[in-house]
Structure 1
Amino acid sequence: MRSLFIFYWMLLLPAINSCEPAVVNEETAAQSTLKLFSVTPDYAKGTALIQGESSVVEGVEFGIAYGLTSKPTITNQQAAVQQSGGSGKALSATIANLQPNQRYYFRLYTKKGSEVTYSNERNVVLNPNWRQIASVNFEGQPLSYGWLNESYGGFSITAFTRTNLSSESTSQQWTYYGGVNWQGSLNVTTALPARYAPIYLPYADQTTYFFGGGYFYSPEPNAAYTYQKSFDDYRDGVAYDYVGDDVPTVQFAIGTNLPDLYVLEVGNQYRLWKYQNRITPTGWELVKGAEFPKKSLTKLLAFTAGEKGFILSEDDGSLWAFDPVKNQWTSRKTIPFKDRQRGAAISITKGGVYGLGVNSKTGEGYRDLWLYDDKADSWSYLTDYPGEGNANVTAVGRNNRIGFLMGYRAITTPIGTAEFSVAKDVWIFEPK
């Protein structure tokens, strides 16, 4: 284990920032006095729950405008909202009689005399393939990694959060076993700060569990990144320590049963490492001649499709495929949809799924999810995410079931930036 302090950390800053979001300061003064936080659909009831906030303004009318086109106004459909007092006014409403598989756009509004002010916009599609499960009741900041495990037709989810913003921050592991609530376990025995950019098998069960690596971040008084190489116990034995450079990593797994784990260094030499995931693991092996071909890229995400591993760059929208037989990288077509940062990627049986994220130029948060077909080298629209989060949403998947949870909700401000706040809701996507 080595501690890398400020003078060395500055060399790694671009790569590190690509793996986790900058710390979000939720105390920053709001840029708008009227904000639409969330639109939560209920497919079974044909309704959507609206939640927002406004500064305290007396003598105005509050409402929600909605319609089938972007930027609805009071000439479209509208409904009254309920208000609660306090330092600000919480606004809520339930919109009924919505049609399935139809996109609706929503904006809060205030009206005083002839003057009408609108909030940011959110849209939603009522899709029968989504269902909401219990939210994660945590205090702190979400960490954008975890996994989903399936057994006997059910599933469990493991996720992680950071408990506070101080240098003594500790991580908390959360597990959902298919019941009504999440169970949290505070890491008080080792008192380690929250882990960033860990190394783990995306498909985790009792046979393939593998978790460790990454770095710990201590922001105060001087920023420091402490890398470590060890892993949790593995099949009733100790896993081999990671041998790569002290830089952030991304990973993908190739194979159905006991898949091999490939770990790419995001920085320095951009080397590719393989952990042979056998009954008796043989440890880490450098994949010679398989350095990532474009070392200027730092905002990287990984997934698996078919028998190949893929790296998607949010720097330029490029996509790269790794062939484990030839040990070669080849470039694929760039993404055909809007560029974004802090998106989410996950592997399922049908291919790689990518989407969500935020437009760094406008502050707009995206909700679209896309499915990648390896054989056709093409993306097709999959669905819209009905949850609150846009940035650094945790994505988990197994077979063709996907889970998205927590992350940060992005609200566009009048000056074209994003105002972030923590999201805690959890959604499961299961195509019928």
Structure 2
Amino acid sequence: MCLITGCSKTPEPAKIVNTNVVLPSQAALVSVQPTGPATAEVIVKLTSAIKPTDWRLTAQTASGTVLALNSVEEQVYDPFSLTILQLSALNPGQAYTLRLGFRYNQKDTLTLERTYTHTTYNPWKRLAQLPFNSGDFTGSIVSFVSDLDRTGSTVQVTRYVDAETWQRALFNYQLNTWYDYNPPYLTLRRGLIEYVLYYHNVDRSYFYGMGYQTDDLFPDKYIYSRDLYAIFPAGGSRVFPYYQGEDGEVVYFTTTEWAFFLTNNGSPAMRGIYAQFDQEARAPLPEKPGIMATFSLGETGYVVNQVLGSQPHLFAYDSQKDIWTRKADFPGTQRSRGIGFSVNGKGYFGLGTASDQRGLRDIWQYDPATDKWQYLTDYPGQGNRYLVVWSGPKRAYLGWGYESQTEVESSGHRLVGCTDFWEFAP
């Protein structure tokens, strides 16, 4: 086992997750979400090596009162199983401590801890997991070509598996099912970029490409790709000129006809790529970027700039006037690798890790009409960094990624891959 605080290489700040320190979880507390005024659903994920006698889950109040956990169902997947339990006798607003202890390597014992505050508000719906236990637990998510109404009825996620394989999976919302789909006909790479633009708000153009490659002989060397490809309602094309921004880990947001790119920990420069391939420099971010999270509301893009040691700043970009405006600072805990998304005219930001590598699960809502933030909910799932995120008019999807797990009686945090997937509909 490798602790984040004790490894020579950590993923923070970094351009990619260092997969050498990422371990699949032998047992994990996947989720806790309310199911009623006094009840919550708890899910434990177990790999096949874990026997029924090898793990134990407890829940207690701040005063030490132990609560009952009743088994409800077991769902068996190929590389793991999910044990679903019900937690009862809860009070809204009260915090509870859940501890999961388990044996691994047939000899060692590990205890993980998670705090849950009960609430009756639950904008989350647990969706089907995609069973996998290797490769990167993140990827690029985009609406599928058949999703012409832009509701997210079908989305596709492309993820890096290994140096010779990547996987594309389709999620069908109505059936709550994942399907294997053809991976892109493109040189294998990490960090694939995928997005959709609508020329004249009608013609759908799907863009994909860029990303980076690594070499096992030079693990700290990243070879950045600049190629992009587009698929139109009829036919497809290579995007030319290639991306002309700086090398680095890019973040982006889209409006109806434009995609805008910035570089984490890079210069403030920003580039725009039009639905018809025009590429141009746009007004730079008003300050030096740290790790950025983005979301879009209409023709306005938003950037939450996370700089170590500073409260995250929010900037709004008017894509039609090419003007940045400083907005209300994010009022929550300072963090890095937080994520942004939007639903129904509001922006959202949260998750990530605190300065001590503690995983965070709070989600905050931003109202552009009042320029105010408010805490809304906690993410019930497992991951807290590098999640796949999709924004839509009625719902958002969040899932996969990595969890920075808090260990009992240890200053370290364990980084493990996650496979749970959620709908967020506030």
Shorter-chain TM-score above 0.5: yes
Residue 38 to residue 322, structure 1, CA distance change in 2 (3 Å): same
Equivalent position to 1:274, from 272, 277, 280: 272
Please name the residue that 2:242 is paired with. Answer: 242
Aligned residue identity for 1:122: T
1:203 deviates by 8.5
Please name the residue that 1:130 is paired with. Answer: 124
Aligned residue identity for 1:159: V
Instruction: Say yes or no: does 1:185 pair with 2:177.
Output: no
Could you tell me whether the CA contact under 8 Å between 2:226 and 2:243 is conserved in 1?
no
Please name the residue that 1:377 is paired with. Answer: 371
Matches within 5 A, 1:347-366: 347-361=342-356, 363-366=357-360
Could you tell me whether the CA contact under 8 Å between 1:213 and 1:242 is conserved in 2?
no
Q: Can you give the 5+ residue segments of structure 2 that lack an aligned partner in the other structure?
A: 1-8, 73-80, 102-109
Residue 378 to residue 128, structure 1, CA distance change in 2 (3 Å): closer
Deviations 1:5-56 (A, max 9, x none): xxxxxxxx9999555433252459x9xx9x8623343627944234278x99
Matches within 5 A, 1:144-163: 144-148=139-143, 149=147, 151=149, 155-163=153-161
Instruction: Say yes or no: does 1:121 pair with 2:114.
Output: yes
Could you tell me whether the CA contact under 8 Å between 1:197 and 1:250 is conserved in 2?
no
Residue 133 to residue 209, structure 1, CA distance change in 2 (3 Å): farther
Aligned residue identity for 1:51: V
Please name the residue that 2:97 is paired with. Answer: 106
Aligned residue identity for 2:392: R
Number of aligned residue pairs: give it. 384
Look up the SS of the partner of 1:196 in the other structure.
coil
Please name the residue that 1:404 is paired with. Answer: 398
Equivalent position to 2:195, from 189, 200, 203: 200
Please name the residue that 1:261 is paired with. Answer: 259
1:313 deviates by 1.4
Could you tell me whether the CA contact under 8 Å between 1:21 and 1:342 is conserved in 2?
no
Deviations 1:113-162 (A, max 9, x none): xxxx9741232646443211211123421224313447497711211222
1:202 deviates by 7.8
Q: 2:360 and 2:266 mapped to 1: Cα distance?
A: 32
Could you tell me whether the CA contact under 8 Å between 2:197 and 2:205 is conserved in 1?
no
Q: 1:16 and 1:184 mapped to 2: Cα distance?
A: 32
Deviations 1:252-281 (A, max 9, x none): 223xxx43222234466532222333xxx2
Please name the residue that 2:105 is paired with. Answer: none
Please name the residue that 1:64 is paired with. Answer: 58
Larger Rg: 1
Instruction: Say yes or no: does 1:339 pair with 2:334.
Output: yes
Could you tell me whether the CA contact under 8 Å between 2:338 and 2:351 is conserved in 1?
yes
1:334 deviates by 2.0
Q: 2:327 and 2:10 mapped to 1: Cα distance?
A: 24
Normalised by the length of structure 2, the TM-score is 0.75
Could you tell me whether the CA contact under 8 Å between 1:253 and 1:304 is conserved in 2?
yes
**Identical residues among aligned pairs (%):** 19
1:293 deviates by 2.5
1:104 deviates by 4.9
Matches within 5 A, 1:300-319: 300-305=292-297, 307-315=299-307, 316=310, 317-319=312-314
Look up the SS of the partner of 1:359 in the other structure.
coil
Q: 2:91 and 2:164 mapped to 1: Cα distance?
A: 43
Could you tell me whether the CA contact under 8 Å between 2:245 and 2:271 is conserved in 1?
no
Residue 301 to residue 180, structure 1, CA distance change in 2 (3 Å): closer
Could you tell me whether the CA contact under 8 Å between 1:169 and 1:194 is conserved in 2?
no
Residue 121 to residue 143, structure 1, CA distance change in 2 (3 Å): closer
The worse-fitting range, judged by mean Cα deviation, of 394-403 and 259-268 is 259-268
Look up the SS of the partner of 1:210 in the other structure.
strand
Equivalent position to 2:67, from 68, 74, 77: 77
Residue 216 to residue 17, structure 1, CA distance change in 2 (3 Å): farther
1:357 deviates by 1.2
1:405 deviates by 1.3
